[in-house]
Every structure is written in structure tokens, then in C-alpha cells.
Structure 1
Amino acid sequence: MVGALACPDGVLVVDETGFVRKGVKSAGVQCQSSGTAGRVENCRLGVFLAYAAGSGRALIDRELYLPESWVGDADRRNEAGIPEQCRGQRVLTKPRLAEAMLARTVDTGVTVGWVAADAAYGRDGKFRSFREAVGCPTYWKCPSVGP
């Protein structure tokens, strides 16, 4: 992806989505607010990172949000096949999951002009500080407009 799309004004896009589920066995499922459904719904939530540039776009990373009801229940995590490195961890909020993805991306040398995310991330001071610390601008510089 980097060789095909990377450019100095590339954009990393952070967004989350919900996946409505009927049962209780899918990893991370519980009744929670889902923007996809437009209400509180039995669902899973994922945080996604995409890269967009003039030459194209690609989904480059993802993280499953595990709510407290999952993090605190070892038997449930084991039954769902949640990987060992995810067991026994504390609840990571969606902005913390986004930070992990941004860090992995920056560590690979991907060129980033700026980061786009919705207000849930923009209101999070730790997320804004993290973006600045890893060199992802928190603002958009408009290109010069002229004849």
C-alpha cells in the first residue's frame, strides 16, 4: 500500500462501526450504542484506520473493541477464541485503540499529511496530544488558491 498510495498529503481516517448480532457468543458483543444501527443495539464495535490519497485509498488496520463485560470474563473470552495477548487486559477505549493503530502505521514509515476522525476522537485530549507526538497534524492546511 505504501509504495502505491503514499504521498506527503496522505490522510489517515479513523472511524468506528457497529456490527449488529443476535446472539451473545461473538467476541465483544453486548448491548451498546451503535452509530450503524442508530440506537443501542446488541452488536460488536470495531475501530478502523484507512489511508486516502489522490491515487487511491485502502483499509490498513482494525481493532475490535472489547467492553468490560468481556475483559472481565476469562471463560467468555476463552470460549470465543480471543487471542492470549488480549486476555486479562484492561478495557481499551476506542481512542486508545485508534492510537495503537496510528502508532503502528507511523512506525512503518507511512507518509501522513493529517488525520481525520469524528468528534468522539476530537474531544479526547489524550488522542489529540498523541497525534501531535507521533507527527500526525491535528489541522488541515488549505492549499493556496489562485489563478
Structure 2
Amino acid sequence: MEDVRTRLAWRAVAAVRPQAWVVDGTGFPKDGVFSPGVARQYSGTLGKVGNCQIGVSIHAASDTASCPLSWRLFLPTAWDEPEPEAEARRRACRIPETEHHRPKWQLALDMLDDLAATGLRPAVLVADADFRHGLEETRPCLGAPGQGRDDRARPGRGAAAARLRRSRPPSGLVPRPGG
């Protein structure tokens, strides 16, 4: 991991004093197709399939704050196809030849490994179903019962969920899709 990102991650952990790290994907709606990684894909931000980029991030979260520790841009399979159009888009966006499609959970796992290599490890790691399966399959210790996984933890339940709910802004302050 780059020195700048390492220093930023350590500063964020010191400032936020996280109770958990949150693995999340965020959609960035786009009108065109010329930004890196743009494709028609599901976006939780949009609540539907739409033209967007997807960013994957690891956030440090506490009762009072949240801050990204690391982030990656998801590259859909359409950007990896050996077709002249896909190759031209990659060149125009300056995507290195070494970068290819990887599942979102793999991006998250790579970021967790990078952060661990700098000495940072989460007390608790929370992720939705998009990430959970891949993380559990490759790192059973992250999800095995009795080894840090709480099978009762579901959206809206448990102390961690309550802390995270309290840290979100009131719903009236957040723009909702279509409204």
C-alpha cells in the first residue's frame, strides 16, 4: 500500500477510534461511458440497475464518525473483453494492462490484506451479502461461527447495528432516489 494511504489510514483510525470496519460498495451514477469502469450494473445508491461506476471501500466506523481507510474502483467484466471497443476504452481511460476485473469481495480482501500489512486490523468487520460469501469462502476465520461471526447479526439488530444506525444522519437530511 502506498505511503500516503498508509499514513491516512493510521490517522483515520486514531481519530475515529472505530468499533468496526465496514466493507461497502457505492455506486456513482454516470451519464456517459467514458469514465473508467462505467457499465450498466446494479447500484445500491440508485436502488436498481443503471449506468454507473462502483467503488469498493473499507471504512472505520464508530458511534460518532466514519472515515474511509482504503478504496478501489470495481472494473466490470465488460471492460476486460478482448474486443476493439473495450480495448479502446481502457486505453482512453489509461487503465494499466495489469488491471483486470476482480469480484468486489476480492477487492475488499486485497484491501484488508494491505491494511493488515501496515499493522491495522479490525476489531469487528461488517459486510453485506455482496462481500460476505467471498470473504467467508477465502478466509473462513472471518466468518466461522465462534471465530468472530455473530449469526444473529442482521440489518437493524444488535448493538453494533444500533451504534451504526445512530451514527447515520436523520433520514430527512438524506436525499432519497426518486424523491
Which band: TM-score by shorter chain?
Answer: 0.7 to 0.9
C-alpha deviation, 1:116, in angstroms: 0.6
Tell me the alpha carbon deviations over residues 98-143 of structure 1, each in whole angstroms, 9 at most, x when there is no partner.
1011111111111421101112222x1x41242627xx9334897x
- Cα root mean square deviation, aligned: 2.7
Is 1:45 matched with 2:54? Answer: yes
Question: Between Structure 1 and Structure 2, which shows a larger proportion of strand residues?
Answer: 1
TM-score (norm 2): 0.64
Moved over 6 A (4+): none
* Paired AA for residue 131 in structure 2: Y
Percent identity over the alignment is 31
2:28 to 1, 19, 22: 19
TM-score (norm 1): 0.77
Q: Which runs of 5+ in 1 are unaligned?
A: 143-147
What is the aligned length?
A: 135
Is 1:28 matched with 2:28? Answer: no
Is 1:77 matched with 2:87? Answer: no
Q: Which runs of 5+ in 2 are unaligned?
A: 1-8, 160-179
Contact conserved, 1:28 with 1:64, CA < 8 A, in 2? yes
Q: What is residue 148 of structure 2 aligned with on the other side?
A: 137
Judged with a 3 Å threshold, the aligned counterparts in structure 2 of structure 1 residues 41 and 108 are, in CA distance, closer, same or farther, namely: same
Contact conserved, 2:79 with 2:90, CA < 8 A, in 1? yes
Contact conserved, 2:105 with 2:135, CA < 8 A, in 1? yes
Q: What is residue 2 of structure 1 aligned with on the other side?
A: 10
Contact conserved, 1:34 with 1:43, CA < 8 A, in 2? yes
Question: Between Structure 1 and Structure 2, which shows a larger proportion of helix residues?
Answer: 2
Separation in structure 1 between the aligned mates of residue 62 and residue 70 of structure 2, nearest angstrom: 16
**Larger relative contact order, structure 1 or 2 (CA cutoff 8 Å, min sep 6):** 1
1:58 to 59, 67, 92: 67
Greater CA deviation, 94-103 or 56-65? Answer: 56-65
